[in-house]
């Protein structure tokens, strides 16, 4: 009997074999727009159904606080759209903590209040899903947000120079998200399957910072947040880009992650064979179909070959087939279709 998308994901968590390799999709709005047009689909849900994608449904509390200035979020970060030719991205245009020089400046910032969110707005989404798709709720990616608040260069400098400022800022971020996530879990009544925990620990060629820096500034609060999720029955999905293998033992053994995304295997130390041999019995792999070369610039045959190759490498592992980050607008629809057709043809 065919499984539902939720049943496929949960089978992996339980250590059981699903009826087929589960799938997911990460894509920009432009890609989704093109897919809807090319595949004659009314909405994203129709795209998922047509391609057999098991992607989760996101549960996000609704902001109901004071009206915000244009292009400014409730953290005080102002953004603008930047067109890169093949697509447009929202980029930070104003960092509200850029001029902070002491801890008092950090404390004086108007930090958001968890009371400014409507958590009951997620309940209808849970009811509409009716157990068919996995539910993903809550999230925590502190240093990425700290970089937007402080500015990229200053944020990294703070980890080595103004450590008291970094600690104060990251603590405010943790306190807000801990309460936001706690209320989200409670409103969901134990129905959330996946919790999104993240931090980009790796760059294209190596780690973004040392293991000691990670252990001091990021890991303790990541563990606290993962523990909160597990207390409410949610599995921990972890996202880190790039070459991040040095962090994996801590993430798996201490933080307690259960899914590792996105497996950018062209980055040093992230080779699929290495990950399968060292961590294949400890974590679910999510992603691994290259979207820097194969998906945007390869042929459909190249894509199919990579899916088959990856499935062979991960044959003794638990794997969710997906692009290894957001599909970009320069990715041909036929390559995207080829990825999902190829994985649907495989059995475990």
Render pLDDT for 100-119 as a digit per residue (tens, 0 to 9).
999 999 999 999 999 999 99
Query: 64-78, 104-118, 120-134 — which is least confidently predicted?
Result: 120-134
**Biggest CA pair distance of the chain:** 62
**343 SS3 class:** helix
Burial of 346 (0-12, 13-18, 19+ CB in 10 A): middle
- pLDDT at position 68 is 96
Q: How confident is the model at residue 347 (pLDDT cuts 50, 70, 90)?
A: confident
pLDDT in the model for residue 223: 98
Which pairs from 92-98 meet CB under 8 Å and 24+ separation? 92/148, 95/148, 95/149, 95/150, 95/151, 95/154, 96/149, 97/149, 97/150, 97/151, 97/169, 98/150, 98/151, 98/154
For the cut 80, the answer to whether the pLDDT of residue 122 exceeds it is: yes
Give the model's pLDDT for residue 348: 59
For residue 338, what pLDDT is reported? Answer: 98
**What's the rounded mean pLDDT across residues 73-92?**
93
Q: Where are the alpha helices (DSSP H) in 83-132?
A: 103-108, 123-129
pTM, to two decimals: 0.97
- The stretch 170-196 carries a mean pLDDT of 98
223 CB neighbour count, 10 Å cutoff: 17
What average pLDDT does this structure show over 268-290?
98
Q: Which range is least confidently modeled, 12-16, 54-58, 124-128, 263-267? A: 124-128
| Residue 144 confidence class, pLDDT cut points 50, 70, 90 | very high
Long-range own/partner contacts, residues 89-98 (CB < 8 A, 24 or more apart): 92/148, 95/148, 95/149, 95/150, 95/151, 95/154, 96/149, 97/149, 97/150, 97/151, 97/169, 98/150, 98/151, 98/154
CB atoms within 10 A of CB 231: 10
For the residues 62-66, what does the mean pLDDT come to? 96
Helix ranges, the chain (H):
5-13, 29-38, 44-51, 103-108, 123-129, 142-150, 152-158, 163-188, 211-217, 219-231, 248-250, 272-279, 294-297, 300-313, 333-344
Strands 57-59 and 135-140: parallel
3-state secondary structure of 20: coil
The answer to whether residues 225 and 194 touch, using CB atoms and an 8 Å cutoff, is no
Give pLDDT, residue 150. 98
Q: How confident is the model at residue 96 (pLDDT cuts 50, 70, 90)?
A: very high
Q: Is the pLDDT of residue 21 over 70?
A: yes
The dihedral sign for the CA sequence 286, 306, 49, 345:
negative
Task: State residue 87's pLDDT score.
Answer: 85
Is the pLDDT reported for residue 345 higher than 70?
A: yes
In 3D space, the residue among 116, 114, 134 whose CA is nearest the CA of residue 125 turns out to be: 134
Q: Are 3 and 19 in contact (CB under 8 A)?
A: yes
Q: Please give the pLDDT value at position 245.
A: 98
Q: What is the pLDDT of residues 198-250, one digit of tens each?
A: 999 999 999 999 999 999 999 999 999 999 999 999 999 999 999 999 999 99
Mean pLDDT of the chain: 97
Q: Say how far apart CA 94 and CA 261 lie, in whole Å.
A: 29
**Predicted local distance difference test score (pLDDT) of residue 203:** 96
Q: Rounded distance, CA 146 to CA 142, Å?
A: 6
pLDDT of residue 130: 81
Dihedrals phi, psi of 61, to nearest 5 degrees: -60, 150
- Confidence at 94, pLDDT banded by 50, 70, 90: very high
H/E stretch holding 259 reads: strand 259-261
Per-residue pLDDT, 174? 98
pLDDT confidence of residue 85: 86
- Looking at the domain that runs over 5-344, which CATH code has it been given? 3.20.20.210
């Amino acid at each position: 009997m065919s499984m539902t998308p939720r049943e496929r994901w949960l089978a992996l968590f339980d250590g059981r074999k699903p009826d087929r390799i589960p799938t997911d999709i990460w894509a920009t709005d432009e890609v989704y727009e093109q897919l809807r047009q090319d595949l004659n689909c009314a909405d994203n849900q129709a795209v998922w159904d047509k391609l057999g994608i098991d992607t989760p449904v996101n549960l996000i509390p609704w902001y109901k606080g004071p009206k915000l200035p244009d292009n400014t979020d409730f953290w005080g970060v102002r953004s603008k759209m930047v067109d890169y030719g093949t697509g447009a991205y929202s980029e930070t245009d104003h960092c509200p903590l850029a001029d902070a020089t002491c801890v008092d400046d950090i404390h004086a910032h108007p930090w958001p209040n968890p009371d400014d969110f409507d958590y009951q707005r997620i309940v209808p989404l849970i009811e509409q899903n009716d157990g068919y798709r996995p539910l993903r709720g809550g999230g925590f990616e502190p240093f990425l947000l700290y970089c937007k608040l402080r500015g990229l260069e200053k944020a990294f400098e703070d980890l080595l120079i103004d450590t008291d400022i970094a600690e104060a800022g990251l603590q405010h971020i943790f306190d807000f998200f801990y309460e936001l996530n706690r209320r989200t879990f409670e409103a969901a009544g134990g129905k959330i399957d996946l919790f999104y925990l993240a931090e980009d620990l790796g760059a294209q060629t190596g780690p973004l910072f040392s293991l000691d820096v990670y252990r001091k500034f990021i890991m303790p609060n990541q563990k606290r947040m993962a523990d909160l999720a597990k207390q409410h029955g949610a599995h921990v999905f972890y996202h880190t880009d790039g070459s991040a293998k040095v962090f994996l033992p801590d993430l798996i053994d201490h933080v307690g992650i259960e899914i590792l995304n996105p497996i950018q295997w062209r980055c040093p130390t992230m080779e699929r064979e290495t990950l399968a041999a060292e961590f294949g019995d400890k974590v679910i792999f999510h992603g691994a179909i290259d979207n820097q070369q194969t998906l945007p610039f390869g042929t459909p045959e190249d894509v199919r070959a990579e899916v088959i190759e990856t499935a062979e490498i991960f044959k003794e592992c638990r794997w969710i087939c997906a692009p290894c980050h957001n599909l970009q607008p320069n990715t041909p629809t036929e390559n995207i279709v080829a990825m999902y057709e190829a994985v649907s043809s495989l059995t475990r």
